[in-house]
Amino acid sequence: MDKAVHNLRITGSKKVPNVRGANEKTVNNVKTVIWSVDKHVNEKDLAAAAECLRKNEVVAFPTETVYGLGANALSDEAVGKIFEAKGRPSDNPLIVHISDEKQLENLVEYVPETAKRLMEAFWPGPLTLIYPRGRAVSDIVTGGLSTVAVRMPNHPTAIALIRQTGLPLAAPSANRSGRPSPTTAEHVKHDLDGRIAGIVDGGGTGVGLESTVVDCSGGIVTILRPGGVTKAELERVIGSVSVDQGLKNHEDQPKSPGMKYTHYAPKAAVTLVDGGRDFLQSLVNSERKKGKNVGVLTTEESSHSYNADVVVTCGRRSDLSTVARGLYAALRKFDEHDVDVIFAETFPAEGVGEAVMNRLEKSAGGRIIRDSN
């Protein structure tokens, strides 16, 4: 990726952004700097990025799940820029990233007992916990909720950056709202070049899907978003946990505001296909007969089985963690080709497959065709 000498100011807008009516045109003329680092990242590598963050600019950085778009969580001005850059609805709250549990003091009202056990077992790692919100946290971060989401990422660059800024960093996934989350710095650049101060390029991420979001703020511990830590792993530590009904049942509102939006979507409409290869191929054939360019999303095991305009593979069906890792890059790949429709294979919703299917269902906006035979 190209490196550029930079100008850190967002020149289009000096006023505190009005996140409710964010005008996207005000943030498209920034020089986005790219800082490349490796896993032996040191303070010098991150000095400029940390300086940007301290000046309340937004900077994308790698985590073990996906790239985050970070800003000073204690500044409304800084956090407002996240919503502007992403075009994110203001009722969708952000996750605050910390490098040290001591930072929780200012962010949460108290740490519930179950949260303590989960932190001990899974932090640093792909688990976001929802706590009763502390007074220092602004409404812009929480979307006006009485709770706040916090996680400690398991990535040397993310941890070093948070440490070096000395700030908790609010960070959603670093994609334009509605797009698949970025698993490389190139994905971030594609979506946000010219809209953010900089990108710390630390190579590809690991898990590939976002963190599991778990509500510990009161009553029953509930999974609000499936992710890098599975239900079974959580239950090994704290016993039975429930899953937010709003994730499955479309009549209920999901408790995690972000889960109600269509998400993770390439430009062409995705349809999930619950059936064998022949059934999926028959759907491809009938669309092609209508003159459509058809894409198929599959895994390495079946990549040669389909006859379509574009066949994209994401990992191996025999190891769903590889599918999780490759899913977002695969969804983005379709945008490089001119496809009209995409048919995607489905996966068993168990273990990490639960998060894979959750994201696929979102990217398909719920469209699924089942083989009735």
Tokens at residue 57, please?
């600019």
Residue 68 touches ligand TXA, criterion: CB under 6 A = yes
**Under rule CB under 6 A, how many of the chain's residues touch ligand TXA?**
31
Residue 271 touches ligand TXA, criterion: CB under 6 A = no
CA distance readout (Å), 95 to 3, 79, 148, 299:
29, 11, 7, 31
Interaction residues for ligand TXA, span 165-194 (CB under 6 A): 171-173
Residue 211 touches ligand TXA, criterion: CB under 6 A = yes
- Least distance (Å) from Mg ion to the CB of residue 328? 10
HSE-up of residue 65 (Cα within 13 Å, Cβ side): 29
Select from Mg ion, ligand TXA, none the partner in contact with residue 284, using the beta carbon and a kind-dependent cut-off of 5 to 8 Å. Answer: none
Residue 115 touches ligand TXA, criterion: CB under 6 A = no
- How far apart are alpha carbons 331 and 334 in whole angstroms? 6
Tokens at residue 18, please?
């009005």
Please pick, from the candidates 213, 216, 272, 324, the single residue that binds ligand TXA as defined by CB under 6 A: 213
Beta strands across the sheet bearing 68-72: 33-36, 198-201, 59-61, 68-72, 169-170, 95-97, 147-151, 127-132, 212-215, 222-225, 242-243
Please pick, from the candidates 50, 74, 119, 145, the single residue that binds ligand TXA as defined by CB under 6 A: 145
Residue number of the CB atom closest to Mg ion: 173
Cβ proximity to ligand TXA: between 162 and 310 the closer is 162
Residue 34 touches ligand TXA, criterion: CB under 6 A = no
Tokens at residue 183, please?
């698993």
- Least distance (Å) from Mg ion to the CB of residue 270? 17
Select from Mg ion, ligand TXA, none the partner in contact with residue 333, using the beta carbon and a kind-dependent cut-off of 5 to 8 Å. Answer: none
Interaction residues for ligand TXA, span 74-93 (CB under 6 A): 92-93
What SS3 class is residue 333? helix
- How far apart are alpha carbons 80 and 152 in whole angstroms? 22
- Rg of the chain on CA atoms, in Å: 20
Asked if 66 and 130 count as a contact pair (C-beta separation under 8 A), the reply is: no
Select from Mg ion, ligand TXA, none the partner in contact with residue 322, using the beta carbon and a kind-dependent cut-off of 5 to 8 Å. Answer: none
Enumerate binding residues for Mg ion (CB under 5 A). 173
- How far apart are alpha carbons 13 and 330 in whole angstroms? 35
x-marked contacts with ligand TXA along 214-253 as a string, rule CB under 6 A:
----------xx----------------------------
Cβ proximity to ligand TXA: between 253 and 307 the closer is 253
HSE-up of residue 159 (Cα within 13 Å, Cβ side): 15
Applying CB under 6 A, which residues contact ligand TXA?
Answer: 63, 65-66, 68, 92-95, 126, 128, 130, 142, 145, 147-149, 151, 153, 171-173, 210-211, 213, 224-225, 255-259
